[in-house]
Amino acid sequence: WHDGEPVTADDVAFTYEFLRDTAMGTADSPVPTPTFRGRVSAVADATAVDETTVRLTLDEVNEAVGVRALQVPILPEHVWGDRTGMATIAGFEFDTETTEAVVTNNEDPVGSGPVRFVEAAPGETVAFERNPDHFLVREADGDGSAGSTDGGSADEEADPLAGIPERFRGKPAFDRLEIEVMGSDIAAVQAVGDGHADATVSNLGPDSVPRIGREADARLVTG
């Protein structure tokens, strides 16, 4: 994790249980996360077999369900495990039971990817930077120790990126990424056309698409 703690199978198993019930069984009824409840509902059970292996049991087995079930952000148990208590906000009463996890602003997020959070100005900007300690970044920089593990297979020792699709390999093509909040998608397109931004990061409405064709330094990327 970006705070130096190891990512383990326990974090993965915790994530599926936690997103299904952010109270982790301490409330009168489950308190699922609003965003990912549909995805985790496809997984009947997630069990950490060892430090690096997780066994997922699905209620229904087909490709579509599998893809959906695996599109879940893995959370650090040592951070989110402390947010399972019932939320209390002075002067505010919740209609139903909810947890600290559901209402937290998560102002200092801890992730595990090749890009890590740096800072944010609420409602204005958020900044990220390339994570030099991520194994994909270290491998791309020529650090052969990036993927070495004890007890790994011969293939893994020969190629620490074995099994990782080619499109996910390599490191981010930037040192720092800044995202600016815009008032509309049209304003975002204008910012790209003016050279103020390199790309938009959200979906574009039909009214903004023709505008891209009128911007000499902007192009539409689809797919």
In this structure, the answer to whether residues 93 and 127 fall within a common structural domain is no
Q: Is residue 21 part of a domain?
A: yes
In this structure, the answer to whether residues 48 and 85 fall within a common structural domain is yes
Using pLDDT thresholds of 50, 70 and 90, give the confidence band for residue 45.
very high
Interatomic CA distance for residues 55 and 84, integer angstroms: 24
Percent with pLDDT over 70 in the chain: 90
Please state whether the predicted TM-score (pTM) of the whole model is above 0.75.
yes
Using pLDDT thresholds of 50, 70 and 90, give the confidence band for residue 200.
very high
Ramachandran class of 94: left when φ > 0, alpha when ψ lies in -120 to 50, beta otherwise: beta
Which tokens go with 217? Answer: 């330094």
Q: Is residue 43 part of a domain?
A: yes
Interatomic CA distance for residues 117 and 119, integer angstroms: 6
Phi and psi at residue 54, to the nearest 5° = -125, 135
In this structure, the answer to whether residues 97 and 122 fall within a common structural domain is no
- Does residue 93 register a pLDDT over 70? no
In this structure, the answer to whether residues 48 and 127 fall within a common structural domain is no
In this structure, the answer to whether residues 19 and 99 fall within a common structural domain is yes
Show which of 168, 183, 198 is a domain's final residue.
168
pLDDT tens per residue across span 133-175: 998 998 888 875 544 445 455 555 567 788 888 888 889 999 9
Q: Is residue 205 part of a domain?
A: no
User: What range defines the domain where residue 56 resides?
Assistant: 9-103
Q: Which residue has the higher pLDDT, 100 or 48?
A: 48
Show which of 56, 71, 103 is a domain's final residue.
103
Interatomic CA distance for residues 183 and 49, integer angstroms: 47
Q: Is residue 109 part of a domain?
A: no
In this structure, the answer to whether residues 62 and 127 fall within a common structural domain is no
Q: Is residue 183 part of a domain?
A: no
